[in-house]
A and B are shown apart, each in its own frame.
Chain A
Amino acid sequence: MLLQVEGLTVRFGGVDALAGVDLQVQQGQALGLVGANGCGKTALFNAISGVVRPSAGRIEFLGRDITGAPMHEIARRGIARTFQTVRLFPAMTVAGNVARVDQTGTADSVEQALEQTGLAARRMVLAGELSLVEQRRLEIARVLARAPQLLLMDEPTSGLSRQETEDMIGLLADAVLPKRAVILIEHKLHVVAALCPSAVLLDQGRRVAEASPRGLLDGTHGAWQG
């Protein structure tokens, strides 16, 4: 088992953003994470990546307890993430954003990441000067260069046009999914269906169901609709 989440609770004041969520991810698995706005999807990513400390529960990665560990330690163990709103170092070049700052990845993996995402020719451009779709690709390049074992992707097609979304699906299917496990938060059903054989549905901080994306939509789970 790559990732095992048990009884995860994240509480903000009197509100349970997550209430006893269980989740398992196998090596190489692509798992969708769906649900209405505010159902706890991003809170789950924040807890796994160490951005917030869980109020209760346990997170194991590769058999080791990482519950409440510092963000940089979790990242070094092999968990990477992207954000719903693109988050880059805008005053650094494309190459500077992708370049390694710790021991993960290799020099070759940086070059390969830039090639795979079509950003090799843009390496000396400042990240803040890229178009949105290029910035989305740069986020992908950054995580590819780190070669994580688990990637948490938060709406990678948010803000993209239909064609750009299709291109992004192609990039994720070709470059990202084959080599690592992915948990994908996405509101666009066809993106989840194209990339993930199964998806977990969250509703008000609770895990409601796990099924194929189509199965979740066709079922009675109104929470999916947001």
Chain B
Amino acid sequence: MIAMDDFLVGVLCNIGIISFVALSAYVLLLAGEVSFGQQAFFAMGAYAAGMVTAMLELPLAPALGVGALVGAAAAAVVGGATFRLSGFYFAMATLAFAEMVRIAFELFTLQVEVRGTLVGPRGTEGFGDIRYLFENGITPLQYMLVVYLLLGAVLAAFFALEHTRYGRALRQAGADPLLAELQGVSVVRVRVIAATVAGALAGLGGGLYAHLLTYVEPASFNIMLGVHSLAYGLIGGLGTALGPVVGVLIDIGVLESSRLFAGYRMIVFGGLVALLLIVRPRGLLDEHVVHWISLRVRAILDAPAGRRLDRSLRRR
């Protein structure tokens, strides 16, 4: 029973953490750009946050902050350099950048002695001994709560963003960049901000990931992670920030963890992406579904309390 619970906690932790990199790719999809390279910022966040706790022996909170900042800073630089590109060219640039970062981590060695042991990234052998959770007695369940607290805060921020000028500008820039420009939106500025936010989200997710696994290596941040991150939004839907989380839930929560499709998971996953791109190109929770749900919710909230009570009594 305990093993079962640990498995469930591990799966839920994984879903929560991968949701950050899925949301990272989602922000760029909203801005109208396809990135195959968000795993680069996830990797940077993982290494940076791991170095802060394992090498500098600082607490988890600043480590996660550093991970997010490193991801944001790198993404701002890359975003500023590549947002004159669009479509296929932008996608290829992000992929190339991500591979550069992965190879750079394969060459990156920086070790310091901490309490008699050499700690730090060691090229292709990776970066182990990120033992903050064990050393501080944080249980998997407690860590899962931290992950979902942060994810909840990020989702709440996304919902709030939808009602702001920037949120509208972001969706307009993604839907029709020329029309958005003619409404006074600087599409390049919107996209660079989106890239920076996306980098921060990926970096934060990377920091959480490194501390969950205690060990990261460059091979963990390959193109497959980038492709999956992108696919989660396309499966779950681009109408709401819950979409990419639903995508992760379907992939990790159902396809991988249930082991129903053991050995065939990637075939099922690929088929699901292809099918949805044909029948629901903006995912399960696309703008139309989200609009339909929001109208129903609004109708219920706007209905006089008496009518709501009548309806609930009738149901009973």
Question: Do residues A89 and B165 form an inter-chain contact, with CB atoms below 8 A?
Answer: no
Interchain CB contact (< 8 A) of A126 among B176, B180, B185, B287: B287
Closest to B186 in A: A72
Q: Is B288 an interface residue (CB 8 A)?
A: yes
Q: Report Cα–Cα, A124/B171, bound state, in Å.
A: 17
Q: Are A102 and B175 in contact (CB under 8 A)?
A: no
**B181 CB within 8 Å of chain A:** yes
From 161 to 215 in chain B, residues with beta carbon under 8 angstroms from any chain A beta carbon are: 165, 168-169, 171-172, 175-176, 178-187
Contact string against A for B residues 280-302, beta-carbon threshold 8 Å, 1 for contact and 0 otherwise: 00100011100100010010000
A71 touches B178 (CB 8 A): yes
Q: Is the CB of A92 within 8 A of B171?
A: yes
Give the A-B pair count, Cβ closer than 8 A.
Answer: 72
Closest CB-CB distance, A68 to chain B, in whole Å?
Answer: 14
Interface centre among B168, B169, B183, B288 (most CB of A within 10 A): B183
Which of A9-17, A30-38, A56-64, A75-83 is the contact stretch? A75-83
Contact among B181, B282, B287, B298 for A72, CB-based, below 8 A: B181
Query: Are A126 and B291 closer than 8 Å at their CB atoms?
Result: yes
With A102-B165, A126-B287, A126-B291 already in contact, the answer to whether A89 and B172 are too (CB < 8 A) is yes
Task: Count residues of B near A (Cβ-Cβ below 8 Å).
Answer: 25
Q: Contact: A101 with B172, CB < 8 Å?
A: yes
Inter-subunit contact A91/B287 (CB<8 Å): yes
**How many of chain A's residues have a CB under 8 angstroms from any CB in B?**
28
Given contacts A72-B187, A89-B175, A92-B171, contact A80 B291 (CB under 8 A): no
Kindly state the separation between the CA atoms of A92 and B287 in the bound complex, as whole angstroms: 8
A103 to B169, CA, bound (A): 12
Which residues of chain A are near B287, meaning CB under 8 Å? Answer: 91-92, 126
A126 partner residues in chain B, CB cutoff 8 A: 287-288, 291
Alpha-carbon distance between A87 and B177 when the two chains are bound, in angstroms:
12
CB neighbours of B183 from chain A (8 A): 72, 75, 101-102, 142, 146
Partner of B295, one of A51, A92, A124: A124
Q: How far is the CB of A49 from chain B (nearest CB, A)?
A: 6
Q: How far does the alpha carbon of A126 sit from the alpha carbon of B286 in the complex, in Å? A: 13
Whole-angstrom distance between the Cβ of B153 and the nearest chain A Cβ: 25
Q: How far is the CB of A136 from chain B (nearest CB, A)?
A: 15
Interface-central residue, A71, A75, A142, by most chain B CB under 10 Å: A71
Residues of A within 8 A of B171 (CB): 89, 91-92, 96
Across the two chains, which residue of chain B brings its CB closest to A83? Answer: B179
A129 vs B287: C-alpha distance in the bound complex, in angstroms?
13
- Inter-chain CA distance A120–B160, complex, in Å, is 24
Query: Are A80 and B182 interface neighbours, CB within 8 A?
Result: yes
Closest 8 CB pairs of A and B: A102-B184, A71-B181, A91-B287, A75-B184, A101-B169, A76-B184, A72-B186, A72-B181
Chain B residues with a Cβ under 8 A of chain A: 165, 168-169, 171-172, 175-176, 178-187, 239, 282, 286-288, 291, 295, 298
Given contacts A89-B171, A91-B287, A124-B295, 5 further A-B pairs with CB under 8 A are: A49-B182, A92-B168, A92-B171, A101-B165, A101-B184
